[in-house]
Amino acid sequence: MIYNIIIIIISIILELILNLYINIDSYLVPLFTLLSLIFVYPYFKNSKKDFFVFSFILGFVYDLVFTNFYILNSFIFLFVSIIIYYFFKKFNYKIFNIIFLSVILISIYNFALYIIFDVYKYNDYTIVEFLFILKHFFIINIIYIISSYLISNKLYLKNII
């Protein structure tokens, strides 16, 4: 459990630092906390319920730290954790699968927010503009995924659960 907490804390700190130093139009929009669920999954792969509870709580913490939409990200993180859980039931925990899953999760997370904000008239951009904005999320997050995989894979292999 200590590895999970360390991974989450590092992700939140990195995301906070990047959010402080990048502007809103940058191509470097981080979603490190959301993607860190991929790296805590191996420690929960034998306990589906604990993984889902952990994800829900992490979503609430994310709401407290980054947004004003309390409980919204809790449900989105829970949904994302369900996707992660079932994805790795069918596919191996390898770098290409993780990158592919990350692209899917980034898209799903942003699309869910787009739909929710559109229903409540919180945003005023079209689906084409949404797709244009979506590309801003991929560069830094893929770099984060690759580096985190290399680090966490060494830790995981070193401390086989």
Rounded CA separation 54/134 (Å): 27
Both tokens of 7, joined, read 């991974």
End-to-end CA distance of the chain, in Å? 11
Q: How many helices (H) and strands (E) does the chain have?
A: 7, 0
Q: What is the pLDDT of residue 24?
A: 61
pTM summary value: 0.87
For helices 32-44 and 95-119, the axis angle rounded to 10 degrees is 130
Q: What is the pLDDT of residue 23?
A: 67
Both tokens of 23, joined, read 């502007």
Q: What is the pLDDT of residue 91?
A: 94
Q: Alpha carbon of 119 to those of 9, 46, 62, 78, 113: distances in Å?
A: 33, 37, 22, 21, 10
Q: What is the pLDDT of residue 161?
A: 47
pLDDT 10s digit of each residue in the chain, 161 long? 788 888 899 999 999 888 888 766 666 778 899 999 999 998 888 889 999 999 999 999 999 988 877 889 999 999 999 999 999 999 998 999 999 999 999 999 988 988 888 888 777 777 787 787 788 788 889 999 999 898 877 766 555 54
Rounded CA separation 5/9 (Å): 6
